[in-house]
Chain A
Amino acid sequence: MQRDITSGAAITFDGVGKSYPKTGGGSVTALEGISFEVPAGSITGIIGRSGAGKSTLLRMVNGLEQPTAGTITVAGRDVGRARGAALREIRREVGMIFQHFNLLSSRTVEDNVALPMEIAGIPAAKIRPRVRDLIARVGLEQLAGRYPAELSGGQKQRVGIARALATDPKVLLSDEATSALDPETTRTVLRLLADINRDLGLTILLITHEMAVVRDIASHVAVIEGGRIVEQGLTYDVFTAPQHPTTRSFLAGVTGVTLPRFIADRLQTDRPAGPAREVIRITFLGDNATDPLLARMSATLGLDVNILAGAIEEIGPRPFGNLLVSIDAARAAEARAYLESHQQRTEVLGYVL
């Protein structure tokens, strides 16, 4: 019941590892040395490719899988060592939603939402009004008596969310909850999750392979690769200053700043002798992201700036821009200095003739 007040963490992973015995001896390591905290009230995203171990990590939080090393603490309790009734007790405080919704086809919307409460042994008289509230919260009042087969994907996931909230959990786990949905439906489901996080103060831990999901709702992010966490922090920091190659490759997809093909093919890492242009990535941060800084620099320094690609993004409420430009290599250092002096980050990607 009690939250871990000292650390402010809803979930704590401490040196968590998971390995499976292989047939014929030896073992396969799925996760290794995972240590991080999910702050209470946060929406934390774990992003990784399929097979990176994120699903295993998530499923350890409610004891669907047991760690082979380390401890996982949820709401102050050690999940990894809990068994039987104690484990079931923890699970009632941890809701979960799934990529393929996992609704019972034999039950109507309202009976699906009622299921966790039936399982918890709540009397029927108390279940009915609560089911109505939950269905209203996810906006499905008109569909309460329908069966899942009659619903769209987005509606099914709303039922999944209502069901996950039924036992009033402290933590909501989201297992690729929007991966089977189209982009528009994804946005509405993410908005619902963000609303729930805000209104109920519910901690949400989600796994995804889509950086856009993290960008849209996660305040914190951890990047997982090969069973290890390679980068973690505030989403804004990780997005604006990615350190690890895996993070960068994930970001390339959402920040709209992959180099155009015709440039990428000609890009050289070393500056060639003679006239050349330097290709620079400029990251605009915070309030300056919307300033016409590039135009000003061009005028001040009398420089030609060739824009190759770019986008302005929002991470939560904070804008940030990403721009790829090319500048005469002879004067590029001057330009970078100007930008740095205006609190922008620059990164030299290479040179083209």
Chain B
Amino acid sequence: MSSNLINLLISATWQTLYMVFLSTLIGALIGLPIGVFLACSRRGELLSAPAVNKVLGIVVNATRSIPFIILVVAIIPFTRLIAGTSIGTTAAIVPLTIAAVPFIARLIENAIREVDAGLIEAARSMGATPLQIIRKVLIPEALPGITLGLTLAVVSLIGYSAMVGAVGGEGLGDLGIRYGYQRFMPDVMAVVVVILIVLVQLVQTIGEWIARRVDKRAPGNRGA
């Protein structure tokens, strides 16, 4: 394999990491409040707003039902509005983020719903405001679940990022398609696949390690 190809592989790996990292970050920043709200806003819950909850739930489901490749193309005008262009790695972050937000919101909702209702009651009995309960009880207690959820999101986004080649997003998936498939270079395809496998393994391992560190629920697990 020529040094030219190796350079391509290295830069494609960075492009993938760049897209996935940024879209996870922005997706988590937007997805966290949405997830918290979804988890706390059914009738009788902390932020009881059943109508808004229902509408938001439908929007989240709708976004998640659109196949990613269609989402990428469908929102090109929006992407241009946000990123200034609809082509390239940075532009690809827009559809990736839009796919990440509802996914992460649901994962965070699930993690927060796992928190024992007794803890909410205890915090209420102390005179905590809903915001204090979210900040001091729900999020810290759900952190192991949130960490595992975000790990899952990163892994999924690595998969999604392979499709943004359709709008010139580049990255590993795009390299695999253009060289490995369209130029009949099976060795490039093989290397791309191996790098993706290693990346996913790394992300999963790191995610689980962090989740274990923040999880104080099992005895003898004191973390730092």
Whether A91 pairs with B219 at a CB distance below 8 angstroms is: no
* CB-defined contacts of B214 to chain A, threshold 8 Å: 106
Interface magnitude class on chain A: 20 to 34
**B170 at interface (Cβ–Cβ under 8 A)?**
no
A 110-129 contacts with B by CB, 8 A = 115-116, 118-120
Our count of residue pairs bridging A and B at CB distance below 8 angstroms stands at: 72
- Taking a contact as CB atoms under 8 Å apart, the answer to whether A119 and B216 are in contact is no
Identify B136's interface contact among A62, A94, A118, A150, CB under 8 A: A118
Q: Chain A residues near B129 (CB, 8 Å)?
A: 88
Asked if B220 CB lies within 8 Å of chain A CBs, one says yes
A119 and B126 contacting across the interface, CB-CB below 8 Å: yes
A106 contacts which of B132, B141, B219 (Cβ < 8 Å)?
Answer: B141
Q: Does A27 contact B (CB under 8 A)?
A: no
Query: What residues on B are CB-neighbors of A173 within 8 Å?
Result: 125
Q: Are B136 and A96 in contact (CB under 8 A)?
A: no
Give a binary string over A86-104; 1 marks a CB under 8 Å from any B CB, 0 the rest: 0111111011101010101
Q: Which residues of A contact B219 (CB under 8 A)?
A: 149-150
Q: Which residues does chain A contribute within 8 Å of B121, judged by CB atoms? A: 64, 98, 102
Give complex CA distance A116, B216 in Å.
Answer: 20
Question: In this complex, what residue of A is CB-closest to B144?
Answer: A106
CB within 8 Å of A: which B77-124 residues: 116, 118-119, 121-124
In the complex, the answer to whether A98 meets B127 with C-beta atoms within 8 Å is no
With a CB–CB cut-off of 8 A, which chain A residues contact B127? 87-92, 116, 119-120, 167
CA distance A64 to B221 in the complex (A): 34
Please give, as numbers and ranges, the residues of chain B lying within 8 Å of A116 by CB-CB distance. Answer: 126-127
Shortest Cβ distance from residue A262 to the other chain B in the assembled complex, whole angstroms: 45
**A contact residues around B118 at 8 Å (CB):** 98, 100, 102
Whether B26 is near chain A, meaning CB under 8 Å from some CB there, is no
Name the CB-closest residue of B to A160: B122
**Do the beta carbons of A119 and B122 come within 8 Å of each other?**
no
B126: chain A residues within 8 A (beta carbon): 91-92, 115-116, 119-120, 167
User: In the complex, which residues 190-221 of chain A have their Cβ closer than 8 Å to any Cβ of chain B?
Assistant: none
* CB of A338 within 8 Å of the partner chain: no
Q: Are B116 and A106 in contact (CB under 8 A)?
A: no
- B220 near A150 with CB under 8 A, answer yes
A154 to chain B, nearest CB (A): 15
Select one of B124, B125, B216, B220 contacting A105, CB under 8 A. Answer: B216
Contact A119 B132 (CB under 8 A): yes
Q: Does A147 contact B (CB under 8 A)?
A: yes
Check A119–B128 contact: CB distance below 8 A.
Answer: yes
- Closest A residue to B117 using CB positions: A102
Nearest A residue to B137 by beta-carbon distance? A104
**CB neighbours of B70 from chain A (8 A):** none
Question: Which residue of A94, A100, A118 is within 8 Å of B125 (Cβ)?
Answer: A94
| B216 x A98 contact (CB < 8 A) | no
Whole-angstrom distance between the alpha carbons of A89 and B124 in the complex?
11
B-chain residues with CB within 8 Å of residue A92 when the two chains form the complex: 126-127
Q: Are A107 and B140 in contact (CB under 8 A)?
A: yes
B216 touches A62 (CB 8 A): no
Alpha-carbon distance between A36 and B119 when the two chains are bound, in angstroms = 30
Chain B contacts of A106 at CB under 8 A? Answer: 140-141, 143, 214, 216
Tell me the complex Cα distance, A119–B129, Å. Answer: 8
Interface: B183 (CB within 8 A):
no
Nearest-CB residue, chain B, relative to A148: B216
Q: How far is the CA of A95 from the CA of B125 in the complex (A)?
A: 7
CB distance from B215 to the nearest CB of A (A): 8
Kindly identify, within residues 139 to 161 of chain B, every residue whose CB is under 8 Å from any CB belonging to chain A: 140-141, 143
Q: Are A149 and B125 in contact (CB under 8 A)?
A: no
Contact with B along A141-178 (1 / 0, CB 8 A): 00000111110000000000000000100000100000
Given contacts A94-B125, A96-B125, contact A149 B221 (CB under 8 A): yes
Residues of B within 8 A of A105 (CB): 141, 216-217
A272–B219 Cα gap in the complex (Å)? 65
In the assembled complex, which residues on chain B have CB atoms less than 8 Å from the CB atom of A87?
A: 127
A92 to B143, CA, bound (A): 27
Residues in B with CB closer than 8 Å to A149 are 216-219, 221
Residues of B within 8 A of A146 (CB): 222
Specify which chain A residues have a CB less than 8 angstroms from the CB of B128 in the assembled complex.
88, 119
List, in ascending order, chain B residues with CB within 8 A of A148's CB. 216
- Whether A96 lies near B218 (C-beta < 8 A) is no
**In the complex, A89→B132 CA distance in Å?**
15
Q: Are A104 and B141 in contact (CB under 8 A)?
A: yes
Considering the chains assembled together, what is the distance between the CA atoms of A116 and B83 in angstroms? 45
- Report 24 cross-chain contacts, Cβ distance below 8 Å, ordered by A residue: A62-B125, A64-B121, A64-B124, A64-B125, A88-B128, A88-B129, A90-B127, A91-B126, A91-B127, A92-B127, A100-B116, A102-B121, A105-B216, A106-B141, A115-B136, A116-B127, A119-B132, A120-B126, A147-B216, A147-B222, A149-B217, A149-B221, A167-B126, A167-B127
Closest 7 CB pairs of A and B: A91-B127, A88-B127, A102-B122, A147-B216, A96-B125, A102-B118, A116-B126
Known: A91-B125, A104-B141. 11 other contacts (CB 8 A): A91-B126, A91-B127, A92-B127, A100-B116, A100-B118, A102-B122, A106-B141, A106-B214, A119-B128, A148-B216, A149-B221
Point out residues on B near A: beta carbons under 8 Å.
116, 118-119, 121-129, 132, 136-137, 140-141, 143, 214, 216-222
